A and B are shown apart, each in its own frame.
Chain A
Amino acid sequence: MKPLLNIENLSINYMTNKKDFNIVKDVNIKIDERMKYGIVGESGSGKSLTSLAIMNLLPEVLKIQEGSIELNTDSTKDLANISKKEMRKVRGREISMIFQEPMTALDPLYTIEYQLLEVLKIHKTYSKKEMYKIGVDMLKKVGIARPDQVMKDYPHQLSGGMRQRVMIAMALICQPKLLIADEPTTALDVTIQAQILDLMNELSDLHNTAILMITHDLGVILETCERVAVMYAGQIVEESTVEKIFEEPAHPYTKGLLSSIRSLGNKSEELYSIPGNVPTPDQYQELGCRFATRCPYAMDQCFNQEPLMYQVQDDHLSKCWLHVEEGRANERSSERTRS
């Protein structure tokens, strides 16, 4: 069976008439139906741009340079090459998106009812009564206690957590096949974050919706996802199931990230940290590995030649020269002695 979403060799460039440089390069992602897929990365890693590319919402100066974004629902479409009109039919109905800022993502001038049912009006044909009922049901499903009251409220009358629930209700009301969640809980407090993640898991099972979770927080990935792609400086550096990434990370960057979070629990120890700074797109190396300048294992080759994506074990990819047969063996043993 074809995957629900198949992104192949996606590259995005920043392009004005003066400057032209690559930002996102060679992204390959396959998301099956009902799958919960995560993209994790730091700011500037290109994770959000990838999601915007799927929605065809890239800002004017960013252009898809190469690659395809295939969406297989009733029919097959390439979202990298699709007319605006076609895309409008996809948004909201087949793919929907929730954003980080629940404060600004709702229009302050309209009631929740208006905004919630707007999506339905565009994509489906129901009578007014039916629509209202669907809206109220949806609000109940996202855990809002007095849906009739909330339908009449304006966004400013709701708390941050409630607004994010409304956003989720809006995203799911047309029962899309794929829900893209771009840092959906970053602006929320931990106790509310726990509620929202729980809710998203529950609803995706209920509606058979696949989730693409974009986040910087590895904890959120572990809570919600089955598979994960780790992005750094516009490229996927490692991709596998969540268990494999957390238990046997292969790429030095993933290892560094996990080590720095894990050593947080250990008070006596100095925190593990990755040296240096995240490069900005104009600092990306033309050749070689984009992580090489911060990598403790970097070799000459890493600065001259872009690493290939290696299959380090079944269903586990990592983009690093260390995985060339010999290097990989060394890497394993050093990991063992450290832990």
Chain B
Amino acid sequence: MREVQNVLEVKNLKKHFPIKGGVLKRTQGYVKAVDDISFAVKENETFSLVGESGCGKSTTGRAILRLHEPTEGEVLFKGDNLLDVGKRSFRLMRKDMQLIFQDPFSSLNPRMTVKKLLMEPLLTHKLATKKEAEQKAANMIEKVGLSKEQLDCYPHEFSGGQRQRISIARALIVNPKLVILDEAVSALDVSIQSQILNLLIKLQQEFHLTYIFISHDLNVVKHLSDRVGVMYLGQMMELATTDKLYENPLHPYTQALLSAIPSIDPKEKKERVILQGDVPDPSDPPTGCPFQLRCPMAHERCAEEKPRFIEKEEDHWVACHLYEE
């Protein structure tokens, strides 16, 4: 059945944040930031999670890395459940899974030189002696398009795009298998963004990396991904190969999301689906389908019953009553 091995399998992952209130800080309820999602990421592919702010895509990324301890579920990394591993030994496994952040201004310690920043992951995992680490840092910085002379500079001497290159170098220097990119190019200017995307693609091929790309930018996701999962209010609404998702979106939410992207071709006048209302409060989600309050196709059943996540056609999963027999 499997031709390509799954690097990562996420099964029924849940992350609920308690809402505390009152003088005694008692738990008054839960924000279900990630509510029962499952997906698998194949070796050497780019799997993207898209959705609007608050849909749980970033929390999913952080829950996989246990930066937020998941409430429930399984995260299988090459067959081992990461959530069963003790904290201390998990720290050692972290070298195989790296995270790159959105904000190139706050993701690097301002008091460390680039050289120190690049050497730290190597020395933390004792992957190299100091000398070797220095050599590796020098190699890596050239791989991401900066020069050796810049090793002694501090982060504030670089522009946003250059800092993102440093973050990438720092993540890749330990030879990870999986890299989670959390809105990694969202803060960059258009002209810089494409440089970084090209770099990411080049490095993926060179180092045989598997990417989980988390983004709200559907254009960027389309360019980069092999498969895409669409999230809404902590749940997976649709999951398909990139071509299938963009050419034949099944879920009404995906359809609306795609039609909301401003066009850049003056000749293309597309029919817009403008959604009404806002994303509901995640601490008080609607019953049934999470999207039913804004869905143009909603019917009675949507309010009563949560749709199952089914494989409508090959490699194309969707959670919507319209497609349930």
Contact = CB atoms under 8 A, between A and B. Distances in A.
Interface of A: 42-43, 159-162, 189-195, 197-198, 216-220, 222-223, 242-243, 246-247, 256-258, 260-267, 270-275, 277-278, 280, 294
B266 A222 contact: yes
A308 B60 CA distance: 52
Interface in B188-207: 189-195, 197-198, 201
Nearest to A218: B264
A9 B251 CA distance: 51
B6 interface: no
Interface in B213-264: 216, 218-220, 222-223, 242, 256-257, 259-264
A117 B291 CA distance: 35
B126 to A, nearest CB: 35
Contact of B189 (A42, A219, A222): A42
Interface string B265-301: 1100000101110110000000000000000000000
Contacts of A278: 159, 189, 191-192
B53 interface: yes
B265 A220 contact: no
B216 A190 contact: yes
Contacts of A257: 190-191
B223 A260 contact: no
B278 A162 contact: yes
B191 A42 contact: yes
Contacts of B73: none
Contact of A190 (B160, B197, B257): B257
Nearest to A45: B189
Contacts of A195: 274-276
Contacts of A220: 262
B207 to A, nearest CB: 18
Given A194-B274, A198-B274, A261-B219, A246 B262 contact: no
B265 A246 contact: yes
B278 A192 contact: yes
B161 interface: yes
B219 A191 contact: no
Chain B residues touching A, range: 35 or more
A232 to B, nearest CB: 9
A271 B219 contact: no
A189 B139 CA distance: 39
Contacts of B38: none
B261 A219 contact: yes
B52 interface: yes
B102 interface: no
B150 interface: no
A256 to B, nearest CB: 6
Contacts of B192: 42, 273, 277-278
A261 B223 contact: no
B189 A243 contact: no
B278 A43 contact: no
A223 B262 contact: yes
By Cβ-Cβ distance, the 3 closest A-B pairs, closest first, are A219-B262, A189-B52, A273-B194
Interface of chain A: mostly helix, strand, loop or mixed: helix
B264 A262 contact: yes
A216 B262 CA distance: 13
Contacts of A294: 191
B197 A194 contact: no
Nearest to B145: A275
21 contacts: A159-B278, A160-B53, A190-B216, A191-B260, A191-B274, A193-B260, A193-B262, A195-B274, A198-B272, A219-B261, A223-B263, A247-B266, A256-B191, A257-B190, A264-B194, A264-B220, A266-B223, A267-B222, A270-B198, A277-B162, A278-B189
Given A43-B189, A273-B191, A274-B191, 19 more contacts: A42-B189, A42-B191, A160-B53, A189-B279, A191-B260, A192-B52, A194-B262, A194-B272, A195-B274, A217-B262, A219-B264, A222-B263, A223-B263, A242-B266, A261-B219, A267-B222, A267-B242, A270-B198, A275-B195
Interface centre among A219, A223, A264, A280 (most CB of B within 10 A): A264
Given A189-B279, A275-B195, A222 B262 contact: yes
B191 A271 contact: no
A219 B272 CA distance: 14
Contacts of A275: 195
A271 B263 contact: no
A191 B275 contact: yes
Contacts of A247: 266
A12 B257 CA distance: 40
Nearest to B162: A277
A54 to B, nearest CB: 23
A339 B279 CA distance: 41
Contact of B194 (A159, A218, A260): A260
A264 B219 contact: yes
Interface in B296-316: none
Nearest to A257: B190
Nearest to A195: B274
B222 A264 contact: yes
A191 B53 CA distance: 11
Contacts of B162: 277
Contacts of B195: 273-275
B261 A190 contact: yes
B189 A216 contact: yes
A106 B93 CA distance: 45
A34 B219 CA distance: 32
Given A246-B266, A258-B264, A265 B222 contact: yes
Contacts of A273: 191-192, 194-195, 197-198
Contacts of B278: 159-162, 192
